[in-house]
Amino acid sequence: MRLSITYFLTLLGAITAPLAEARSAGCGKSPPSSGIKSTTVNGKNRQYTLQVPANYNPNTEYKLVIAYHWLSGNMGAVFNGQYYGLQPLSGGTTIFVAPDGLNAGWANTGGEDITFTDNILQTVQDSLCVDESNIFATGWSYGGAMSFSVACSRPDVFKAVAVISGAQLSGCNGGTTPVPYLGIHGTADDVLNISLGRQLRDKYIGLNGCQSKNAPEPNSGSGTHIRTDYSCRAGYPVTWIAHSGGHVPDPKDNGQSQSWAPGEIWKFFTQDGLKGDTGGGDPGTTTTLVTKTTTAGTGPTSGPCAARYGQCGGQGWSGPTCCESGSTCKFSNDWYSQCL
């Protein structure tokens, strides 16, 4: 009798183990605060922003999105842009991270930015309750290149990636395992030609076993976008959205003040059946579209001075020029100074 109960429990354990594995080690622990975190990678000090949802519950599993900045950007600018506009769509279900690149980019020399990413994931999973089967990466330009790079090197970690105006600039160590892939690119991109974005897409069309298909792209100046969903191996979709704009993170259709990109990315990340997931859908959050456009007042402010990460200067800036205590106004470029 005792033997058969043990046997039954062993069987039960075998059945439930794969599900339990998705819960990270940080579940049940008291959470770290949101803010700038530091870590050491290959002897170098590296930083990233950590955004823990309001009303965080240590026993609830959260999605995790890593959002990489563009060349000459930084983690604070990604924070200011609400993680490429995804945070407002996430309905409090998601932890967001914006890592800071060396020399404001993602050269990923010797794989050091992959190691940095591994390091962040380990720390976040150990301290917060992450659904390890719901980890995503996105970024624009150099940040798109880095998102492509993590898809190549960490295909079993990331559930999907969204590459905005990307090219292969951060390497592709690995690149032999399928990953759900969304590519967004402008036909008038004069910084990273759309042909470079098509190359990244085509790699995943091959890896994900998709049927080749004509993917129409809008005429220049039409102010539109065209989405093509490829037919791929179940659970490994590839979607390509070509727009008629240039090298921008937040493409908009003619006459629209808000970008369609955040909504498309969020819908791609939360669609049912990704990597065989049955409950990944997130109905109710796809109707709200919020852009990453940063204008006066969208950055965090408190009282007469800007809050940490908020804008505090730059040409055309009419908002606060002082920072809340604990942070100081740092010149980033002629158009942007920030409380850090």
Ligand X SMILES: *[C@@H]1O[C@H](CO)[C@@H](O)[C@H](O)[C@H]1NC(C)=O
Q: Figure out which of the listed residues 52, 71, 104, 188 binds ligand X, where binding follows CB under 6 A.
A: 188
* Least CB distance to ligand X at residue 149 (A): 23
Closer to ligand X by CB, 156 or 190: give it.
190
Residue with tokens 């999605």: 63
Rounded least distance, CB 165 to ligand X, Å: 12
Q: Which residue is nearest to ligand X (CB)?
A: 193
60 forms part of the interface with ligand X (CB under 6 A): no
Least Å distance, CB 244 to ligand X, is 11
Determine the interface stretch with ligand X among 84-92, 123-131, 162-170, 189-197 (rule: CB under 6 A).
189-197
* Smallest distance, ligand X to C-beta of residue 185, A: 11
Q: Which of 259, 182, 190 is nearest to 215 (CA)?
A: 182
Angle between helices 112-127 and 142-153 (to 10 degrees): 80
Q: Does 195 bind ligand X (CB under 6 A)?
A: yes
Task: Residue 176: name the closest of 153, 159, 196 by CA.
Answer: 153
Contacting ligand X (CB under 6 A), which of 34, 39, 47, 193? 193
102 touches ligand X by CB under 6 A: no
8 A C-beta contact, residue 46 and residue 100:
yes
Only segment of 73-81, 136-144, 186-194, 226-234 that touches ligand X (CB under 6 A): 186-194
Is 6 a binding residue for ligand X by CB under 6 A? The answer is no
What span, in angstroms and rounded, lies between the C-alpha atoms of 46 and 120? 10
Q: Which stretch binds ligand X (CB under 6 A): 5-13, 172-180, 188-196, 252-260?
A: 188-196
Torsion region of 336: left, alpha or beta (phi above 0 gives left; psi -120 to 50 gives alpha): beta
Question: Strands, E, within the chain: which ranges?
Answer: 35-41, 44-51, 62-68, 94-99, 130-140, 160-164, 181-186, 225-229, 238-243, 301-302, 305-306, 311-313, 329-333, 336-339
Q: Which is nearer to ligand X, 195 or 219 (CB)?
A: 195
Tokens of 134: 């719901």
User: Which of 128, 104, 127, 106 shows the shortest CA–CA distance to 116?
Assistant: 106
How far apart are CB 207 and ligand X at their closest, in Å? Answer: 25
Residue 313: count of CB within 10 angstroms of its CB:
21
Q: Which stretch in 82-90, 99-107, 127-135, 185-193 sits in contact with ligand X by CB under 6 A?
A: 185-193
Binding site for ligand X (CB under 6 A): 188-190, 193, 195
